[in-house]
Amino acid sequence: MKETKNAEIRVPAEPYEFTFDPTRVALLCIDFQRDFVEAGGFGESLGNDVSTLRGAIAPTRKVLDCFREQDWMVIHTREGHREDLSDLFPSKRDRGNPTLRIGDIGPMGRLLTRGSKGHDIIPELYPIEGEVVLDKPGKGAFYGTDLETILRAGGITHLILTGVTTEVCVQSTAREANDRGFDCLILSDCTGSYFPEFYESALHMFKAQGGIVGWVGTSTDLLTAVDAAIPEIGESK
C-alpha cells in the first residue's frame, strides 16, 4: 500500500458526505460474471435483457484502476455453485420457470457453476494477482464465505460497492455488511439492474432515513476526492 497514512478521503454522497481512511477501505466488485452480463448466461435464461447491465463496466474499470494504483484492497465476488451442486438448495434451483436451471449446460457452459466460462468474471474487469476472488453460493457475499474474516484481518472498516445486480447481490451484500458494522458506499454508475425501477428504488431505500443502510455516490465524485487527497494519482494519469 502506498504512503497514504494521513489522508482522509471525503466523497460527496447521499445522504451526506462519505469519509474514509484510505488504509481501511476495500473495493467490492460484485458478480461481474459473464453469466449476468453477457448473452447466453444465467441472466438471459431468466428472460432478462443483459445489455442493461453493461453501462456499469467502464466506470467500474476506472475505480478498479484507481484502487490498483493505490494498492488498496480489491475483492471480486462470483455467485455460483460447486460442480456437484452439493451447495445448491433445491429452493434456489427450482425457483421460477427458467429455460435453463443452475447446473444445466448453456452456451457458456454450466450455468452459475464453478469452472464454467459463464461463471467467470468478464474480461474488462478481470482480477489481477493479489486481488481476492470470493466464490459465494448465495446472493449476499457474507453468507457461506470467509469475507468477514478477510476484511477484519485487513483492518477494513469502509466498503465501496460496485456490481450487479443492484437490487439482488449488491443490495444483499450491502445489508449484510452494514449489519456487521462496515460503512458502505454504493457507486450508482458502477451498478446495474435488468429493471430500471428496481435500480432506482434499491438505491433510494439504501440511503433513505439518514443513510439507514449506507451511502450512494458516483465514481466521478469518488475519483475526484481521491485525486484531491492523494494528488499523485492525477499526475500519473
Whole-angstrom CA distances from 118 to 47, 111, 182, 207 are 16, 7, 31, 32
Residue 169 interacts with ligand C5J (CB under 6 A): yes or no: yes
Q: DSSP labels for 9-42?
A: EEE--BSS-EEE-GGGEEEEEE--BHHHHSTTSH
Footprint of ligand C5J on residues 37-76 (CB under 6 A)?
Answer: none
The mark string for 129-148 relative to ligand C5J (x by CB under 6 A, - otherwise) is ----------x---------
- Cα-Cα-Cα-Cα torsion 13, 181, 29, 53, nearest 10 degrees, comes to -60
Q: How far apart are CA 107 and CA 45, in angstroms?
A: 11
Cis upstream peptide for 90 (omega within 30°): no
When binding is defined by CB under 6 A, the residue of 147, 164, 213, 230 that contacts ligand C5J is 164
Query: Which of these segments, 56-64, 95-103, 123-131, 162-170, binds ligand C5J (CB under 6 A)?
Result: 162-170
The residue annotated as part of the active site, out of 169, 183, 189, 207, is: 169
Q: Which of residues 190-219 bind ligand C5J (CB under 6 A)?
A: none
Question: Binding residue for ligand C5J (CB under 6 A) from 11, 20, 27, 31?
Answer: 31
Minimum CB separation of residue 235 from ligand C5J in Å reads 36
Q: How far apart, in whole angstroms, are the C-alpha atoms of residue 146 and residue 163?
A: 19
Say how far apart CA 164 and CA 169 lie, in whole Å: 7
Instruction: Please report whether residue 79 would count as binding ligand C5J according to CB under 6 A.
Output: yes
Question: Among 20, 36, 67, 199, which residue interacts with ligand C5J (rule: CB under 6 A)?
Answer: 36
Number of residues binding to ligand C5J, judged by CB under 6 A = 8
Amino acid at 46: L
Site for ligand C5J, rule CB under 6 A? 31, 36, 79, 139, 164-165, 168-169
Write out the catalytic residue numbers. Answer: 31, 136, 169
